[in-house]
Amino acid sequence: MSDPMRPRAALRTAVVWEVLQNALERRVRATGRQALDILDTGGGSGNFAVPLARLGHRVTVVDPSPNALFALERRAAEEGVADRVRGVQGDAHGLFDVAERGGYDVVLCHGVLEYVDDPAEGVRNAVAALRPEGVLSLLASGLGGAVLARALAGHFTEARQALDDPNGRWGTGDPMPRRFTAEQLTALVEGAGLRIGAVHGVRVFADLVPGVLVDTEPGALDALLRLEAAAAELAAFHSVATQLHVLGETREARGA
């Protein structure tokens, strides 16, 4: 899968796209179908959905924001994939009011668990949307990355607050309702009945490196992308990643 994002933005998504590419290819081989049915919960304006549709897959996006869904519709039309992208208004709590239970080969749950009242229920619903042989792509904000970022900015009290807070928040002004450790996310996925296929740290370095360095130094972007990819799978770096990506697989999919 070629990177569908602009080069600078690829720093924030490259690792996830690489993992997702491998998962999609495995499902295509296992099912014998070139077009998979994908559910993107909280998919917003289609940062993942539209590129996935360009690959030929059928994508249903569930999002609570009418504005995001309008932007999704417009973007899908501009990219010529309107026939493969369907946007519906809803959320993780009432997922099956708008999505089919057990109807998808792959479910994306990116940037959702931070905002739901019950993350465990959110994961269970995402898993319940999978077919017997299916894959869950889970992306959520990492606790360690936030602590490190506040400390490097000189906000040491806030860094300590995030470290001690049950939800990983650094204060009342923190825009993120909840953050997770890799252990918490894998426990949620396993608790919903899936096996862990992979765990990756996302944006380990990208948010710490000055943008001017990446934009002006020849070869810096490619080198940083390679560094992110190399560090992503190492458990030592999961604890400082801005985001964490967990790939969960049904037992039937794991055996495929």
Residue 8: predicted pLDDT: 53
- Is the pLDDT at 59 greater than 50? The verdict is yes
Band of residue 4 on the pLDDT scale cut at 50, 70, 90: very low
When the pLDDT of each residue in the chain is averaged and rounded to a whole number, the result is 91
Residue 2: predicted pLDDT: 41
Per-residue pLDDT tens over the stretch 139-157: 999 999 999 999 999 999 9
Average pLDDT for residues 39-43, to the nearest whole number? Answer: 95
Residue 13: predicted pLDDT: 82
**Cβ-Cβ contacts under 8 Å for 61 (sequence gap 6 or more):** 40, 43, 44, 46, 49, 69, 72, 85, 86, 87, 88
- Measured CA to CA, the distance from residue 230 to residue 221 in angstroms comes to 14
Q: What is the pTM of this model?
A: 0.90
Residue 235: predicted pLDDT: 92
- Is the pLDDT at 256 greater than 90? The verdict is no
Lowest mean pLDDT across 29-43, 54-68, 203-217: 203-217
User: What percent of the chain stands above pLDDT 70?
Assistant: 94
- Measured CA to CA, the distance from residue 199 to residue 193 in angstroms comes to 16
- Is the pLDDT at 12 greater than 90? The verdict is no
- Is the pLDDT at 76 greater than 70? The verdict is yes
Band of residue 10 on the pLDDT scale cut at 50, 70, 90: low
Residue 123: predicted pLDDT: 97
Retrieve residue 64's tokens.
């609570």
Q: How far is CA 152 from CA 175, 202, 210, in A?
A: 18, 18, 13
Per-residue pLDDT tens over the stretch 181-235: 999 999 999 999 999 999 999 999 888 877 777 777 788 888 888 899 899 999 9
Task: Return phi, psi of residue 245, to 5°.
Answer: -120, 125
90 near 60, Cβ under 8 Å? Answer: no
DSSP states of the chain as a string?
Answer: ----S-HHHHHHHHHHHHHHHHHHHHHHHHH--SS-EEEEET-TTTTTHHHHHHTT-EEEEEES-HHHHHHHHHHHHHTT-GGGEEEEE--STTGGGTS-TT-EEEEEEES-TTTSS-HHHHHHHHHHTEEEEEEEEEEEEBHHHHHHHHHHTT-HHHHHHHHHSTT---STT-S-S--B-HHHHHHHHHHTTPEEEEEEEESSSTTTS-HHHHHHSTTHHHHHHHHHHHHHT-HHHHTT-SEEEEEEE-HHHHT-
DSSP states of 83-110 as a string?
Answer: GGEEEEE--STTGGGTS-TT-EEEEEEE
Band of residue 3 on the pLDDT scale cut at 50, 70, 90: very low
- Measured CA to CA, the distance from residue 50 to residue 84 in angstroms comes to 9
Residue 254: predicted pLDDT: 56
Per-residue pLDDT tens over the stretch 106-142: 999 999 999 999 999 999 999 999 999 999 999 999 9
